[in-house]
Amino acid sequence: MDAKSLLSHSFRIAWKDLMELIRNRLGLVMLVLMPIFMMAMVGFIYPSNTSISKIPIALANEDAGYGNSTIGSQTFLTVLQGINSNTGMMTITNASNMDEIKDLVQKGDVYGGILIPSNFTSSIMTGEQGTIVIVVDQSNPQMSATIQAVLSGVFDQMGTMLAQQKVQGLNPAVNATNSLAIVKPYDIQTEGAVSGHSSYFDFIAPGIMAMTVMMSVMTGLPAAISQEKEVGTLDGMMVAPINRLAIILGKTLAQTARGLIQGVLILALAVALFGVTIQGSILLVFGLLLLGVFSFVGLGVVITSFAKDQETAMMIMMTLMFPMMFLSGVFFPIQQMPWYMQSVSKVLPLTYAATALRKVMVLGAQIPAITTELTILITFGIVMTAIAVPVFKRAMTR
């Protein structure tokens, strides 16, 4: 069979599968709703930044003062209240001591606490550091880390202001302009590899796009092949003068169309609702999505060929997909995983598809910067396709 006939038969098979999808109204609705639900769930549930707003915090002032003065804690509280009034970051509940703060945290009435110890003013007045205790809720580590980071930054800023005032009082030559350089000689600035500010959505959108393509191929192929084997329609194609490769290509094209539709929906939602900016080439993004399909389709065909029915094929697919979703850096950075899990992630094709998309969309990378990912995805796709074609032919002759 020549290449023209092979492509013609492949497009006809793909068209047949797509028409079946269009006639299946519920399936068509779910095709659209799945990426919308996925992005809405991730976008509105997961935090987009490290700021806090109106977080319930307990505040206890145990400061006994120094002599007849409690100026240290009173000054601290006045400045803290002023900052909180401007930012609205906390809803402060007064507590009497550490035990009451812990009790409020255990009851879930507050997410954390601030304790001013009894020696706060005396420490400051005698030239020592005044201690501030931040109480966190270990049952909610993400929120605790955010509260600790934000409050530590606020308290550090307040300490710097107090130090500036002291330095100005000790030396007449020091004023409000140069006192900061004395107290904090280093000015730390952070600059991204690309312009603009990024958020969690910038990180997760490319991963979800790669995952959606994988899920579309891995779940669509069992329905496209195993179901037709069960109802007998595949037998008709097998006895027709059609190359077995044309059947695989046709099924693949149909699943590619499904994956691209969902990928485009996710990309549009990420840009429209969550302000994701595509720094790189949009054509390269679509090219990577197509390469992702090519990488996964061979694996899907192999598994479907070995499975006796659609239910078994779907069970095998789901068993493979769920570990890949969590070990491929889709939702969480791979660098945060234990070293042995990082080793597992390096053998998963979804890892390289998500990484390549993230480099292009977030960092504006071009092809030279993603040659490693491209090489691995192409190699994996070629190897799995080379295995899939003879395995599929053998399975169809059984």
Neighbour-count burial of 312, counting CB atoms closer than 10 A to its CB (0-12 exposed, 13-18 middle, 19+ buried)? middle
Percent of the chain as helix, strand, coil, to the nearest 5 = 70, 5, 25
Tell me, what's the pLDDT at 229? 65
Does 324 have pLDDT greater than 90? no
Q: Which two tokens stand for residue 150?
A: 């934000």
Per-chain mean pLDDT for the chain? 80
Q: Which of 285, 279, 248 is CA-nearest to residue 381?
A: 248
Q: Which domains are seen in the chain, by residue range? A: 3-47+199-397 (no CATH), 55-183 (3.40.1710)
pLDDT band at 241 (very low <50, low <70, confident <90, very high): low
> Is the predicted pLDDT of residue 228 greater than 70, yes or no?
no
Quick one: tokens of 52? 């806090």
The pair phi, psi for residue 92, each rounded to 5°, is -90, 130
What pLDDT does residue 161 have? Answer: 83
Q: Which region among 85-89, 158-162, 235-239 has the lowest average model confidence (pLDDT)?
A: 235-239
Residue 392 or residue 211, greater confidence: 211
pLDDT at 246 over 60: yes
pLDDT value for 113: 93
Lowest average pLDDT, out of 94-108, 344-358, 383-397, goes to 383-397
- Give pLDDT tens digits for 263-276: 788 888 878 877 77
Read off the pLDDT of each residue in 42-54 and give the average, rounded to a whole number: 64
Cβ–Cβ < 8 Å for 140, 111: yes
199-213, 246-260, 378-392: the lowest-pLDDT one: 246-260
State residue 99's pLDDT score: 93
Summarised one tens digit per residue, pLDDT across range 147-176 is: 888 888 888 888 888 888 888 877 777 777
* pLDDT interval class at 236 (50, 70, 90): low
**Pairing between strand 112-116 and 133-136?**
antiparallel
193/79: higher pLDDT? 79
Quick one: pLDDT band at residue 59, thresholds 50, 70, 90?
very high
Q: What is the mean pLDDT of residues 185-193?
A: 79
CB 94 within 8 A of CB 114: no
Average pLDDT of the residues in 234-242: 63
Q: 116: burial class by Cβ within 10 Å (0-12, 13-18, 19+)?
A: buried
pTM of the model: 0.75
Lowest mean pLDDT among 38-42, 129-133, 262-266: 38-42
Among 139, 158, 9, which Cα is nearest to 82's? 158
Do 61 and 77 contact (CB within 8 A), yes or no? Answer: yes
| CB neighbour class for 41 (10 Å; exposed up to 12, middle 13-18, buried from 19) | exposed
pLDDT(243) > 90: no
